[in-house]
Amino acid sequence: MNAKEKILIIGSSGQIGSELVEGLRDIYGRESVIASDIRNLEKESLEAVAPYEKLNVLDKDHLYALVKKYEITQIYLLAALLSATAEKNPMFAWDLNMNGLFNVLNLAKEGHIKKVYWPSSIAVFGPTTPRIMTPQFTIMEPNTVYGISKQTGERWCEYYFQKYQVDVRSLRYPGLIGYKSAPGGGTTDYAVHIYHEAAKHQPYVCFLSENTGLPMMYMPDAIKATIDLMHADPDKVKIRSSYNLSGMSFTPQEIANEIKQHYPSFSISYQPDSRQQIADSWPQSIDDSYANNDWGWKAAYDLKLMTEDMFAHIKY
């Protein structure tokens, strides 16, 4: 591993960002991983996460100045509006999700940085996609703003790799579940909230219906997949749009049943809202054999192991 790597994480206060900062600092050292986010941090959190820079990824001059200031070699671009929030503000979501990506890809194209990580999502698939064991290459007609922006982003990543040799790598994350950080504006967020309510001995009202199956992944697996992909030899990274990635699949009813193994009096009820329609357009399970064959990906956590680990850490 190159000790001279300097990494900028954009969106470091978000669900993935906050855990990725920790994971990358364990490998590269604190001073080599610069956290950045649009949020103003209080003095205490600022000290805890330093080195930290306040950054709006749409401000390309500021982004360029930070790349030069810290001699950045790699960027992980995590700032984005997720599925539910993007539906409320489509034009801003498009602007942030697309122009943020262009600002970073162009820095790589111009030779200022060497490597880019950009997350895609199962949201690239749509209602006409085969829903069970969704293949890597298949029909993709997303009907959400977020999904359209992620699918377009994938096309641009592959284009920048082919035309300009930009070393860009990407994963199509399923819903991500962790105890360290809160999710922000997604359709799969219920699968984090439900654990907290159970640990507080509260009933949970789910915004998806009981039989809505979706692909999900425990955060330690997601962080490992991200770092493994970024560390893979370039010739092993054969897909430069984005890799399918699979952890587990479950419905709200199935996760509630697993939670009841730990909290027998836990109760769940269902009040589907507008997020139901988004969930209904997404796959139920994912075939990630390309990630497995190309760079050796295999998830470690299933629903049972994840639930044990979540409750070992969530205390009220």
Using CB under 6 A, which of 14, 100, 175, 247 touches ligand AKB?
A: 175
Closer residue to ligand AKB (CB): 204 or 207: 207
Find the shortest distance in angstroms from Cβ 174 to ligand AKB.
6
Find the shortest distance in angstroms from Cβ 183 to ligand AKB.
6
Q: How far is CA 53 from CA 39, 139, 188, 261, in A?
A: 9, 40, 29, 43
Closer residue to ligand AKB (CB): 28 or 195: 195
For 111, phi and psi rounded to 5 degrees?
85, 10
> Closest by alpha carbon to 48, among 30, 26, 61?
30
Using CB under 6 A, which of 187, 212, 226, 246 touches ligand AKB?
A: 187
Q: Is 123 in the site for ligand AKB (CB under 6 A)?
A: yes
Find the shortest distance in angstroms from Cβ 215 to ligand AKB.
8
Q: Using CB under 6 A, which residues numbered 56 to 95 contact ligand AKB?
A: 82-83
Closer residue to ligand AKB (CB): 9 or 78: 78
48-56, 88-96, 180-188, 253-261 -> range binding ligand AKB (CB under 6 A): 180-188
Active site residue 52: no
Find the shortest distance in angstroms from Cβ 213 to ligand AKB.
13
Q: How far is CA 67 from CA 10, 50, 73, 147, 153, in A?
A: 12, 16, 8, 29, 22
Coil, helix or strand at residue 117: strand
In this structure, are residues 86 and 149 in contact, taking their beta carbons and an 8 Å threshold? yes
Strand spans (E) along 179-231: 204-206, 214-218
Residue 41 carries which side chain, given as an amino acid letter?
Answer: L
Closer residue to ligand AKB (CB): 53 or 189: 189
With CB under 6 A, what is the number of residues at the site for ligand AKB? 11
In this structure, are residues 138 and 282 in contact, taking their beta carbons and an 8 Å threshold? no
> Closest by alpha carbon to 107, among 78, 81, 68?
68
Closer residue to ligand AKB (CB): 83 or 285: 83
For 35, phi and psi rounded to 5 degrees?
-85, 140
Q: Is 283 in the site for ligand AKB (CB under 6 A)?
A: no
Q: Using CB under 6 A, which residues numbered 188 to 227 contact ligand AKB?
A: 188
In this structure, are residues 11 and 37 in contact, taking their beta carbons and an 8 Å threshold? yes
Q: Which of 70, 117, 146, 190 is catalytic?
A: 146
Q: Which residues are tagged catalytic?
A: 146
Residues that bind ligand AKB (CB under 6 A): 82-83, 121-123, 146, 173, 175, 186-188
